[in-house]
Amino acid sequence: MARSLIGGLLSSGVDKLSLYVADPIADQRNELAKDFGIHTHDNNQAIIDQCDIIVLAIKPQRMKTVAQQIDISNAAFKLFISIAAGIRSNAIQKWLGDSVPIVRAMPNTPSLVQSGATGMYASKEVTDEQRDQAESILRAVGLTLWVNAESQLDAVTALSGSGPAYFFLVMEAMEKAGAQLGLDPETARLLTVQTAFGAAKLALEIKDEPAELRHKVTSPGGTTEKAIGVLQNNNLEAIFAEALKAAHDRSIELAEQLEQE
């Protein structure tokens, strides 16, 4: 995710010399420096001391250890952006040792191709200018939306954070079904992927709600109506509601576990 942010920022016109990355692994630092021409360092503190905005692109299980090693005596008013799933802002502040401005961001994997969807929440210490800065950074890899309550990020996690996997599962099932109907696997895959892309593009660019778009392509007595009927008779909507609720609840559980460790 850090790599996709770097690529997105550079593509949006950010000066590469204004970007600094700390990574303990030499091979990864060298690769980033070679690919992007940015500054790299093996020490987190060296980066934090010279940057105004710090993106904590850290695995959730490592956040506590890394945060507790940071000296924020000269960074109390710097903006920290966390993209670690499930780690609440008050936990990060506690580990850092002060009430620093924190923006929590929940991007998803399509950010890797600058087509992500990111839910964002700002702690009360974040200024309007810092909100704009955080949004500009995450917008470099796709859509950004703010939520008013941090607890809503658990719903964001369930919907868009985990969401790509739901669509991949549907695509996987459609590919298999197409092959079972006689298409060769590559043809089934290409038709599935392009159909998914086209449907998403229509939903983004046309003002109609998804339900209305569905009605427009469902002719009475036709093939689409027959297929939709099977899906609805098997409670597809209830299955998705149950699945997202499970992801939402698990997001809360994981956050509680990570904060107690």
Q: Are 134 and 79 in contact (CB under 8 A)?
A: yes
- The answer on pLDDT for 77 being more than 90 is no
* pLDDT at residue 99, rounded to an integer: 84
Average pLDDT over residues 145-161: 96
Kindly report whether the global pTM for this prediction surpasses the value 0.85. Answer: yes
For residues 119 and 74, the model is more confident at 119
Q: How far apart are the first and last CA of the chain?
A: 24
| pLDDT band of 50, cuts 50, 70, 90 | confident
Q: Are 45 and 70 in contact (CB under 8 A)?
A: yes
Domain 163-249 in CATH 1.10.3730.10? The answer is yes
Q: State the Cα–Cα distance between residues 2 and 50, nearest whole angstrom.
A: 19
Structure tokens at 60: 């959730």
Average pLDDT over residues 99-112: 93
User: Which fold does the domain 2-155 belong to in CATH?
Assistant: Rossmann fold (3.40.50)
Question: What residues does each domain of the chain span?
Answer: 2-155, 163-249
